Structure 1
Amino acid sequence: MDHLACFKPGDLSSTSAPDLTSYRWRLLAQGDSWFSTSAAKLNAHANLLQEMVFKDPACAVNCAGSGEALSHMVDLESAADFVSLLSDDGAPVWDGVLLSVGGNDLIAAAQTPAHAADGSDVPLHLRLIRHQTEWGAPSAGVARYFSEPGWQTYSDYLRTNVRHLLTLRDQGPSAGKPVFMHCYAVPMPRPAGADDSGLGASGPWLYPALKAYALPSADWAAVSRLMVFHLAQLLKSMAADKEQFPGLHVFDSTTVPLAPATPGTSGSSGDWHNEIHLNHSGCFKIARAWSEHIEAVLSGVKTVEPVRKRP
């Protein structure tokens, strides 16, 4: 098993440019902080790509960059390298595209307050959590805190933008190639930001949002689980819709057993480096399982391609 060789877009035009043809699998990657190449994040072993392994030599050109801030999946204006390498006529032919998207957008939606700065109410369709006066019946469990109208808005947003990314793929030389997305693991809302690890003055993320909404702390873990499982179900339903999302493959990370962080802790705990980022052991567990899923799909693609050729 070989580790995935990771390159940056600039490496392709350098004097010592890598020979991509020496790898059996050539992948293009774009994503949020789980793919970040920030030195601080790499030192914390918080990059999934660095932990991926394949039976055959594989490489990835990672366009996620070194930014430390949370990035949103539709910020393609600042992802010119990714768009060019995916859709330009002269771009390489990639065997697949790796995407780590949707998680930061989910966090941002959960952070949306119930009231705007001017004191006016933020409508339910623009936020994921209900104010205390809007809670449903206790018999609904933690779902009584959840804004279904807000979830519909988020779902429409994610579906629209994943379709856009697939359209970009089909405009270039890699048309029809598989696109791989992962679901996310369930974080424990806790006061564990990135400040103590050199990752920038950010976080915690869910912890202050749930406190601001006055949700009972005993329900925080279940609320986090509810949101992450909603996202996993959404992503898997998209992958199952081959007409709207052709070539999309989703790996359900929620099925990978992880050691949860201890509630109330502020540093690395269990398989988590901070509140929403995995540490070395967490990345190792998810990346190894996702690698198997990806290589199985890629091998299947390779074996069926000759059948499509005409005599």
Structure 2
Amino acid sequence: MTSVVITGKRYLTHPEQADKFGPFDKVYLAEGDSWMDASAAAQGSLPFYLTEEFNRRGKTHLIINISTARQTLQRIAETMSGDYLWWLKQLPYDGVLFSAGGNDFIEAARGPAPGQGLLRDMQGQPPPVDGYDCVRQPALKQLLDDYLNPNFEAVYQALRASSKNAATPMYLNGYDTPVARNAPAIQGLVGPWLWAAYRKNHIDASLWPQLTRGLFKDVKAAVNGWSAGRAGVKLVATTDVLTPASPTSTGSSGDWKNEIHPNASGWRKQARIWADLLQ
């Protein structure tokens, strides 16, 4: 017997590929963004390394992974009639492993025209004393109040409305703080993210460390806020765990594979914290 992670689609068509390693002591459902993404074989993902950690501890657990790279919380909430709701009806789980919020912040910084999203356009402006002052606070409030918080509430209420999972705990990814740098996941196709957003908004590189720390403090506060007053919702405290990357590196550095995703050593550090909490 051993622990296994398998995509939801694969488990539907070939359940024997996972079940042959059972019976399983615990079954988890993984949903969310690229930190959970089942398709990120080259990059790695938390469920893969969490399964590795379970096996190291002699556990026999199953993770059914329905996550998608570049997924935002808004899109998860808008498409809940798909995989998420369907899988909640199929099995009782020992926990839902959930990662969302980080992409919403990045998309709000990177996507809109300069000065129209989460960041101020600093072209021709005197640099602030603190890099975090480059954040447009009204845009941050709108992101939280109009998108993140109500969309998480929808995801949470769907879990609680599930007859099989009304009391199932949900574990929230706390992320960690990356370093803005020109380190894409796929050169010319995927990333970099913060580096592109900061350059697009003409933010001086000397301000990037403070700005990134401030933004990911906001990410953590938002995710932590989702656990407040909601039964069974727990933040997995993984902030300030990973060794930072060099800001001049363009590939794997420290505990980071690229600008915003851990490498193998980083994933293993994260997985140990998750496994401790899940056990």
Q: Tell me the distance in 1 between the aligned counterparts of 2:131 and 2:65.
A: 38
Structure 1 unaligned blocks of 5 or more: 116-120, 296-311
Match of 2:248 among 264, 274, 281: 264
Residues of 2 paired with 1:289 and 1:227: CA distance?
Answer: 23
> Partner of 1:204: helix, strand, or coil?
coil
Report how far residue 113 of structure 1 moved.
3.7
The secondary structure found in structure 2 opposite 1:189 is: coil
Q: Could you tell me how far apart the structure 1 residues matched to 2:126 and 2:264 are?
A: 39
Structure with max Cα Rg: 1
User: Are residue 281 (structure 1) and residue 269 (structure 2) matched?
Assistant: no
Which digits, 9 at most, give the CA deviation of each residue in 1:250-290, with x for residues without a partner?
Answer: 1121142x221111221111111111111111111111112
Specify the code of the residue in structure 2 equivalent to 1:8. T
AA in 2 matched with 1:83: L
- Hey, what's the Cα distance between the residues in 1 that align with 2:226 and 2:83? 26
Q: Secondary structure at the match of 2:218?
A: helix
The alignment-based identity, stated in percent, is: 28
Please say if residues 28 and 96 of structure 2, whose CA atoms lie closer than 8 Å, have aligned partners that are also in contact.
yes
Residues 130-172 of structure 1, C-alpha deviations (whole Å, 9 max, x = no match): 1227979945x22321111111112121111111111111222
1:49 deviates by 0.9
The residue type paired with residue 128 of structure 1 is L
CA shift at 1:187, angstroms?
1.3
Residues 81-126 of structure 1, C-alpha deviations (whole Å, 9 max, x = no match):
222011x3xx2111110111111111101114445xxxxx73xxxx
User: Which residues of structure 2 form unaligned runs of 5+?
Assistant: none
Q: Which residue of the partner structure matches residue 71 of structure 1?
A: 71
Partner of 1:249: 234
What TM-score results when the alignment is normalised by the length of structure 1?
A: 0.78
Q: Structure 1 residue 3: deviation in Å? A: 7.2
Pair 1:79–1:57, CA change in 2 (3 A): farther
CA contact (8 A) 1:12 1:18 kept: no
2:156 to 163, 166, 180: 166
User: Which residue number corresponds to residue 233 of structure 1?
Assistant: 221
1:286-297 paired onto structure 2 within 5 Å:
286-295=270-279
**8 Å contact 2:131–2:209 — kept in the other structure?**
no
Return the match for 1:188 from 179, 195, 200. 179
Q: Structure 2 CA distance, aligned partners of 1:158 and 1:136?
A: 31
Give the equivalent residue in structure 1 for 2:91.
92
Deviations 1:209-259 (A, max 9, x none): 1112221211212211111111112221221x22xx332111121142x22
2:46 partner letter: L
Which TM-score applies when normalising by structure 2? Answer: 0.86
SS at match of 1:272: coil
CA RMSD across the alignment: 2.5
